[in-house]
Structure 1
Amino acid sequence: MKILFDIGHPAHVHLFKHFIRYLLSEGNTVIVASRDKDITNELLKKYAIPFVSISKKKNGFFGLFIEFIERLVRVFVLERRYKFDLAFGTSSSIGFLTLFCGVKSYNFCEDDDIAVPFHALISYPLNTKIINSKGVKYRFWKNKRVIHNSYQKLAYLHPNRFHPDESAIRKYSLTPYSYVIVRLSALNAHHDIGAKGIDAELLSKVISEFGDYRIIYSREIEGSHQINIEDMHDVLYYSKMLISDSQSMSVEASCLGVPSIRYSTFVGKLSVLGQLENKYGLTFGFQLGQEERMLEKIRQLLSQKDLTADYSKKRELLLQDKCDFTEWMINFFQSEKDLT
């Protein structure tokens, strides 16, 4: 089969990388249309996944609209060349292949529809199926929903896929649980308009709580990362804690059993993170105006003697409930392939 993957974010490289390898091993033709955003293309190179970069990230509503048109045109150029049977992705482009070319499209999203209204409005009516995690909230297009009992991050952070390597952290003169990761998101995606996260004043207060712990920074807006891309998940696994205004890395930390503190206007608006916080107790969200509560939670976690062991147990409970998402995608593909 000829299969398109439309990948626009570094997290989606991780999401699909094992699935893509499986498809290639089965003799399928796979074309990856990428977006030059942050480290997306670097990751594809790292994992030896052939790709065609069809757009470069633009900012602002008008810039994002121009980029959307560019991607759409170039996706149709790829379709004219390859004649795809299926299209997988997280973008809006693949739905238009369904509308105009009859290509079956499968849109993967872990956000509630209300959190990504523009994406939902222009994508979901066109997609063949919408792939959501259990608990994601939606009101429309119910007949298109395919619900799985996993998280997208478990496509690459499930123990079947991820095996932590302590030697990776030694490259940075780190020892397990002696450091904290601070992840600052750019908050400039289409669904981030008006969003706010950790500012310089709050960051200074947060850092002062950690005393002798080493601070590892990852700043998306500056493209500044102290850790090589291939080591990031190992470094996250062995960290004491994650402080972040990034929803994506907060979910990753939870899947690895690392306590995380997140602060942004998105807190309380995403069901997946709500589930990780309220059911599994793996992450804690704070909204603007709750800075003192956030600092108190950091102090509480740091004072807990068995913090790492406790969160490892919480992770085990999560893994008892949730499946390997790559395995789920493979099984889903087989069932859809039989219908094609």
Structure 2
Amino acid sequence: MTARSHPTSTGTKRVVVTIQHPGHVHFFRHPIAELRSRGHEVHVFARESDVAIDLLEAYDIDHEVLAGASDSLVSLAAVQATYEAKLLARARRIDPDVITAIGGVAAAHVAAALRTTSVVFYDTEHATLITKLAYPFADVICTPSCYRGEIGSKQVRYPGYHELAYLHPDRFEPDPTVLESVGLSPDDRFAVVRLSSWEASHDVGHGGFDDPREVVDRLEDAGVEVLLSAEGEPPAELAGYAFETAPERLHDLLAHADIVLSEGATTAAEAAVLGTPSVYVNPLSLGYTTELDAEYGLLFEYTGERRHVRGLERAVSVLEEPSETWTQRHQQLLSERIDVTDLVVEQLETHARTPEPDRSTATTNPTEP
């Protein structure tokens, strides 16, 4: 199935959007606004996760929080069960024509229970628990064209990345005033280092940099200032490098950085689609990180045993390249990849349930006796 293979359905639709991670807020922010501008009724439900609720409030998106945060894999199961039960109750009252999510475990289950349509977006091949729980129940599964899994007739492949739903230049313009908020001037060269917490279900048993202290030292030796972002608390000896800015302004910072080093694939990809070279250090490879490396040279993926050493070597060499290198590669990427917000809106309108005619209101033929 291709991304544009069906005619768009018409009429006002009731849409339920589910949010379980800060990245989901970014992804659905513009589709929610676009759907509402087209007259559709959009209901947003969320559970607490990192800064997800802060982002919903920052973007002034009406929403209801259905469950709290989890602090372990064990508690995540309980939180997910609560979230799914409450989502079912709310959706039953709304009677939505389509339910959508990233990953989509709760969305697919609730849609199946209510006999409505679910449209799921996903790009993480190794999150097998989520895919096993969601994919069998989902009606439509939209993935980037570089996604490595073959899902079958439900799958819609599109030439883009999740990050282009909110960082495509038609949707996002970096604000340079973010530099002042973190104590930098426009002439300062700087790197953003992003450390993961390694607490997600698909992160168990994995790790990225061997020694974050060495990462900071090597970057400073290369002549750049270092800003550190960490899921949870940063290492105590590096606390002075941590920066504070509103969560919705992180992308402004990534766009102005000279380089980004990240243990998380999303941050690395966000930098790349903004035209900032990124080094991704993580034992897990994904279709989109590999493509951003092989096709565009805007992300450098290191997943092997020497990933820490090789990643640092690459970071130093990147800082020696002229800025025109990354500008040209960025322009090529944008010429070959789509604004994913358009795709999201199209898929939801296309696959939303079309109510059957109400036979009880049918009139008889006036010519009949």
Task: State TM-score, norm by structure 2.
Answer: 0.85
Superposition deviation, residue 54 in structure 1: 1.3
Superposition deviation, residue 332 in structure 1: 2.5
Alpha-carbon spacing, 1:48–1:166, altered in 2? closer, same or farther (3 Å) = same
The correspondence of residues 182-193 of structure 1 with structure 2, limited to 5 A, is 182-193=193-204
Q: What secondary structure is seen at the aligned counterpart in 1 of 2:76? A: helix
Number of residue pairs matched by the alignment:
331
The reply to whether residue 280 of structure 1 matches residue 296 of structure 2 is: yes
Maintained 8 Å contact 1:216/1:226: no
1:107 to 98, 120, 123: 120
Superposition deviation, residue 69 in structure 1: 0.8
1:336 to 351, 354, 365: 351
Q: What secondary structure is seen at the aligned counterpart in 2 of 1:191? A: coil
Match of 1:138 in 2: 149
1:83-135 C-alpha deviation (Å, 9 max, x unpaired): 111101023001112321112001110122xx011111110010011010001
Superposition deviation, residue 24 in structure 1: 1.4
Pair member with larger Rg: 2
Structure ranking higher on relative contact order (CA contacts 8 Å, 6+ apart): 2
1:272-309 C-alpha deviation (Å, 9 max, x unpaired): 100001111111122343332222212211222x1x22
Q: Which moved more, 1:153-162 or 1:52-61?
A: 52-61
Maintained 8 Å contact 2:282/2:307: no
Match of 2:214 in 1: 205
Match of 2:170 in 1: 160
Q: What secondary structure is seen at the aligned counterpart in 2 of 1:281? A: coil
Maintained 8 Å contact 1:64/1:190: no
**Identity value in percent:** 25
Superposition deviation, residue 337 in structure 1: 4.3
1:168-218 C-alpha deviation (Å, 9 max, x unpaired): 32222323461110111112112112221235xx21111112224221111
Gaps of 5+ in 1: none
1:49 to 55, 61, 65: 61
Maintained 8 Å contact 2:70/2:79: yes
The correspondence of residues 76-115 of structure 1 with structure 2, limited to 5 A, is 76-90=88-102, 91-112=104-125, 115=126
The reply to whether residue 75 of structure 1 matches residue 90 of structure 2 is: no
Q: Distance in 2 between matches of 1:166 and 1:249?
A: 19
2:160 to 133, 138, 150: 150
Maintained 8 Å contact 1:242/1:261: yes
Maintained 8 Å contact 2:268/2:299: yes
Superposition deviation, residue 334 in structure 1: 3.3
Q: Which moved more, 1:183-192 or 1:51-60?
A: 51-60
Q: What secondary structure is seen at the aligned counterpart in 2 of 1:143? A: coil
Maintained 8 Å contact 1:209/1:298: no
Match of 1:17 in 2: 29
1:261 to 267, 273, 279: 279
Q: Distance in 1 between matches of 2:68 and 2:197?
A: 16
CA RMSD of aligned residues (A): 1.8
Match of 1:123 in 2: 134
Match of 2:185 in 1: 175
Alpha-carbon spacing, 1:260–1:30, altered in 2? closer, same or farther (3 Å) = same
Q: Distance in 2 between matches of 1:148 and 1:174?
A: 38
1:196-244 C-alpha deviation (Å, 9 max, x unpaired): 1235xx2111111222422111111229752222321111101011011
1:295 to 308, 312, 329: 312
Task: State TM-score, norm by structure 1.
Answer: 0.92
Alpha-carbon spacing, 1:291–1:191, altered in 2? closer, same or farther (3 Å) = closer
